Chain A
């Protein structure tokens, strides 16, 4: 009986995943920050490679959705995180055993590590059988775990560990300290003298009084006096310590490989769920997107830039969500409008949703249908460099050329303010040329531009514009709406404020 992986169904491969670096689009889409935030505090699991590997089939995505839905229930999630905590405690114990110097102390920590492991395995096997589990991934894991927990080798490991723990905790001895000499003897039921003193004075007890007990440094280390005393204690009970020694030799390889892998991989889900929970208090929704590898009709309701939202939520600032859709034959969002109005954020949101969906994760938004891309290309403007204008334009074009060379009909392209380093005329010309190619390739695309004329290039493009607040045009709303780019958004807002819009004037004149 084997168990493959909680992250990949049989068809997908998990091999060589650890060698993956962040995809090129990470910086532009601020996904670096997102993944950093998700994996923060979970470095020991080395989760980032999993976030660097988009899935390639809809079924692989469904496999993860299933597991995630199982983990939505607090019960199952609790079982898994409790197991993880115990496994972590176990690793801490092993590490501690490594660090320590005295033999019997190392062995004690090792024994505890195994005891924690036995307990964790037993508990998880028990718990998972209580849980409402439907995903293929967790069902297979449960079956594996149940078999393992009932295997003879595991059972005897448990029995032996329990026995040794009991034996050791039964050891009692006395120290007689006088001057600089210490005598170690077996405990002989001598009376508890503190209790005796306490009893003598008990009649004076009034109310609660101060606690005079002194806290001692509780570190795991022993000083040489304690170590010498322990050596003498082992001579008082030689059998127990002999057994311990032999056990430690024999059980070196107690840990089951598949369980170790599971413990690591399942944190992909744990981390993501914890990340999603950060946004709940702010009322920001996440949803399981419908993902298709055929239909390029996409839409999202109340989608938001999760990297930005993470910063805003910390400051208790509100987060603007956007709705968008593309219906056949629409493929391209051209985004224009006032600066600082949310255009780039819109582009990033579109990219983030698609990328996170390709990981099999819920996406930031109320509802979404997304396309399973084969590649995601971004072209965001780099730092402006005035000394090298022509060089920058050339560089831009080279990069775009390369993207278009490599893109297939199933690729996603997100371009942000390209060609700002040339004249408007040139920008219009170049933009048109590039968009024509994009249309030809039938690519899904977001094209952020300051050139209004590029917004309406036919039935495949949809114009989205950033908006301002009608009452106070200086205030950006960060809403990006489906609206013709007429370059008049700002003017319209000003006009409305003074009642000078068409309707406003009509109404006033009529009066």
Chain B
């Protein structure tokens, strides 16, 4: 029995290693904000959200499979949460049945505990069955439909009766029947528990037939303690396997419930997130994963979900049409929403590839083989090597993992050196990546770099520019446009220093001044 809510045909893999760039992704895209919103303070939900978001699907069908389940959840939140509660309660109740550690040494004790746990779990299974009976019709997704069908199919009345019969039988009120063979030195071995023939007979017939069957008997004397121990060991040998089978069955049912819980946890997280975004009136949509093999990207009203979660106000969305583009170069005004766009894009890509809705009015893109981020980092005082060293080494680590059809998001990479050097380094890297089939989004102030690509008039390149009103105000919208030789650092300077600052003419390239704290710049990105 499998829940199969995360994948059509397999369990949610809780052992799978997260991608090696997990740390960088989490930091650069501020994923913990997302996970926290999904968790609403529940550690387990947090972990499952993290696991799901970071373990991307790449098959559009698999993505749609989850999307449908998410849709059902959004339609029937209370029933989904009820199922989740059944799983959690079953798992927690089991922990309370404690027989002492000695119980692991005696099959008899193992069997006793297993039967007690099984009785409890059968209760939980019955509740599942009841939910399925009552609500299955209200669900449309393949995932839930199959789950409910499986529950009603596998947990039929007859089956539940059989299980209850076994649980009664395992009390052995009529004694234990064990078969054996002669082993080494004619010592009995291969003790196997047998179901007595005639077990279906009434007790009168049974007594009669017991008397008739041929055989020889003996009794252990009442005061023979060693004999009593030996006999109970013999009995234990006989029930060893059935105790094991029962105990393992409890483990199996428990792991069914833990898998059900783990898989539902992701969807519970989706519910939580959706509720929070909806409360704020932020739009969400189910993205369209396009067929693999062709680069696609068309978004409307894309915003950074994490930013939206942190801010009171609603945030600015962007429209981008970048089908068949391998390079998207984003230039323009400082604090004009470039980084926010990059984050929003990366986040949406990850959310799409785990089957969630995304923070946009519409979103269509091809699934990629991996999202990587190379973001400018604040100087790390513990770092012995220089900043450029650190950047290059980080890029080298990324390159170790890159495969064709990955996406790389660069945020002001290689700005740690002068523009000419930085451009040249970046140019070579970008060229190599594009030729290797990797899609690159590059936010930069380096005019030399951006302009260099622009003049090549590549069909597969798109140039976006952060908008700036003539009066210097930011709209936080990106528009298609040629890179400009200035990033309007002057504006920022002026705003910070006030009009008096005008006395000191700012350089045309704002590189040196464009390092506001991340939070500050983001708070500005408000409509």
Contacts and interface: CB of A to CB of B under 8 A. Distances in A.
Interface of A: 96-97, 100, 104-109, 112, 168-169, 171-188, 190-198, 200-201, 203-207, 209-214, 216, 220, 222-226, 228-230, 232-233, 235-236
Contacts of B2: 206
Chain B interface size range: 35 or more
Contact of A203 (B1, B106, B218, B259): B1
B383 interface: no
B194 A192 contact: yes
Nearest to B107: A214
Given A176-B176, A183-B216, A211-B244, A226 B187 contact: yes
Interface string B476-497: 0000000000000000000000
Nearest to B110: A212
Given A180-B231, A212-B110, A192 B251 contact: no
A331 B25 CA distance: 84
Interface in B1-60: 1-2, 11
B192 A194 contact: yes
Most buried by A among B180, B241, B242: B180
Contacts of A209: 248, 251-252, 255
Given A204-B249, A214-B236, A223-B230, A112 B185 contact: yes
Nearest to A183: B217
A177 B230 contact: no
Contacts of A180: 219-220, 222, 227-228, 231
B135 interface: no
Interface stretch (B162-170, B271-279, B368-376, B506-514): B162-170
Contacts of A196: 166, 195
Nearest to A189: B197
Contact of A109 (B1, B185, B228): B185
Given A222-B187, A226-B188, A172 B230 contact: no
A188 B197 contact: yes
B1 A216 contact: no
**Pairs of residues from A and B, 5 with the lowest C-beta to C-beta distance, nearest first:** A178-B175, A185-B215, A201-B249, A190-B194, A194-B241
Nearest to B253: A204
Contact of B251 (A190, A210, A232): A210
Interface in B189-208: 191-197
A124 to B, nearest CB: 24
Given A107-B186, A197-B246, A198-B245, A181 B218 contact: yes
Given A194-B192, A230-B188, A235-B216, A203 B179 contact: no
A172 B226 CA distance: 26
A380 to B, nearest CB: 54
A226 B230 contact: yes
B233 A182 contact: no
B362 to A, nearest CB: 39
B143 interface: no
Contacts of A178: 174-176
B176 A177 contact: yes
Contacts of A105: 185-187
A112 B183 CA distance: 11
A463 to B, nearest CB: 64
Nearest to B121: A204
Contacts of B188: 175, 226, 229-230, 233
Among A100, A193, A228, A235, the most chain B Cβ lie within 10 Å of the Cβ of A193
B175 A201 contact: no
B154 interface: yes
B245 A175 contact: no
A228 B218 contact: yes
B252 A193 contact: no
A206 B182 contact: no
Contacts of B170: 197
Given A108-B184, A191-B195, A185 B214 contact: yes
Contact of B255 (A174, A177, A188, A207): A207
A177 B187 contact: no
B256 interface: yes
Nearest to A234: B186
Given A105-B187, A177-B175, A190 B197 contact: yes
Nearest to B258: A206
A205 B259 CA distance: 12
Interface of B: 1-2, 11, 104-107, 110, 114, 154, 162-163, 166, 169-170, 174-182, 184-188, 191-197, 213-220, 222, 226-228, 230-231, 233-238, 240-249, 251-253, 255-256, 259
Contact of B180 (A100, A169, A173, A235): A173
Nearest to A192: B192
Given A182-B231, A190-B197, A194-B245, A212 B176 contact: no
Contacts of B214: 185-186
A104 B11 CA distance: 54
A185 B175 CA distance: 14
A109 to B, nearest CB: 5
Contact of B216 (A184, A203, A206): A184
Given A108-B185, A204-B253, A206-B255, 5 more contacts: A96-B185, A168-B186, A173-B179, A178-B176, A186-B215
A214 B245 CA distance: 12
A168 B173 CA distance: 33
A461 B244 CA distance: 81
B213 A175 contact: no
B153 to A, nearest CB: 10
| Residue picked from B163, B175, B179, B227, most chain A C-beta under 10 Å | B179
Nearest to B178: A175
Given A174-B178, A214-B236, A225 B220 contact: yes
Contact of B241 (A173, A188, A213): A213
B225 to A, nearest CB: 11
A198 to B, nearest CB: 4
A93 B110 CA distance: 36
A210 B248 contact: yes
Nearest to B150: A203
Nearest to B255: A206
Contacts of B230: 223-226
A216 B235 contact: no
A112 B187 CA distance: 13
A206 B215 contact: no
Nearest to B194: A190
B219 A181 contact: yes
A107 B174 CA distance: 36
A210 B216 CA distance: 38
Contacts of A200: 162-163, 166, 249
Nearest to B228: A180
Best-surrounded residue of A183, A191, A203, A204 (most CB of chain B within 10 A): A204
Contacts of A168: 182, 186
A206 B252 contact: yes
A214 B243 CA distance: 9
A192 B240 CA distance: 13
A230 B231 contact: no
B193 A194 contact: yes
Nearest to B185: A108
B116 to A, nearest CB: 15
B226 A220 contact: no
Contacts of B233: 216
A204 B1 contact: yes
Contact of B179 (A174, A198, A222, A230): A174
Nearest to B222: A180
B194 A225 contact: no
B251 to A, nearest CB: 4
B180 A212 contact: no
Contact of B249 (A97, A181, A184, A198): A198
Contacts of B194: 174, 190-193
Nearest to A240: B182
15 contacts: A97-B185, A171-B182, A172-B180, A174-B177, A177-B234, A179-B175, A181-B219, A182-B220, A183-B217, A197-B170, A200-B162, A200-B163, A204-B252, A212-B114, A232-B216
Given A200-B162, A220-B187, A190 B241 contact: no
